[in-house]
Amino acid sequence: MLTNLATPVGAAFVTHAIAQFGPSAVAGAATIDRLSPVAFGLVYALSGAVGPILAQNLGAGQYRRVQEGMRDSLLFMVASVAVAWLVLALGQGVLIRAFSAEGLAAELIALFCTWLAASFFFSGGLFVANASFNNLGHPLLSTFFNWGRATLGTIPFAW
């Protein structure tokens, strides 16, 4: 439960910081919040799929397969993020028009599509790590890392 509370805390701080720039900035951030799960859906799904596979291999004493599963899931995450980032970067004009974004909203969407989408390399790594922590007997590490991302990995950059 504590692990899942970290993300809304970080999001609340970011929303507060963005709100100071007006409704157009909030609209841009809301659009990005809607694009992210669609663009990076494979990464989100991977975090739910990899944990049971790792745990089954650990239970079977197949430590080499646990290592291979971690490596392969991280490689899949990197490939998925790279493809999604490329699609976002190339399709940002279409997305901006599709959401009728103007001004600061359009600038934020373009910034996300061009540069900030790359941050999902870190988020994806965290998702895979959290799945392994939770399924391999170290749930407190998952909580620690999620809170680290939501505070140290978010607040200073939003500030």
Residue 159 reports pLDDT greater than 90: no
Residue 143 reports pLDDT greater than 90: yes
Where are the domains positioned within the chain?
23-144
Residue 3 reports pLDDT greater than 90: no
Q: How far apart are CA 38 and CA 95, in angstroms?
A: 12
pTM: 0.92
pLDDT at 110: 98
Alpha-carbon dihedral of residues 150, 151, 152, 155, nearest 10 degrees?
A: 100
Q: Which of 139, 125, 155 is nearest to 1 (CA)?
A: 139
Q: Summarize the confidence of residues 8-26 as an average pLDDT.
A: 95
Q: Summarize the confidence of residues 10-14 as an average pLDDT.
A: 94
pLDDT at 63: 96
Question: Over 2-50, what HEC string results?
Answer: HHHHHHHHHHHHHHHHHHCCCHHHHHHHHHHHHHHHHHCHHHHHHHHHH
Q: How far apart are CA 81 and CA 49, in angstroms?
A: 17
Question: What is the b/e burial string over 86-115, where b = at least 16 CB atoms within 10 angstroms of the residue's CB?
Answer: eebeeebeebbeebebeebbbebbbebbee
Model confidence over 82-121: pLDDT tens digits?
999 999 999 999 999 999 999 999 999 999 999 999 999 9
Model confidence over 41-84: pLDDT tens digits?
999 999 899 999 999 999 999 999 999 999 999 999 999 999 99
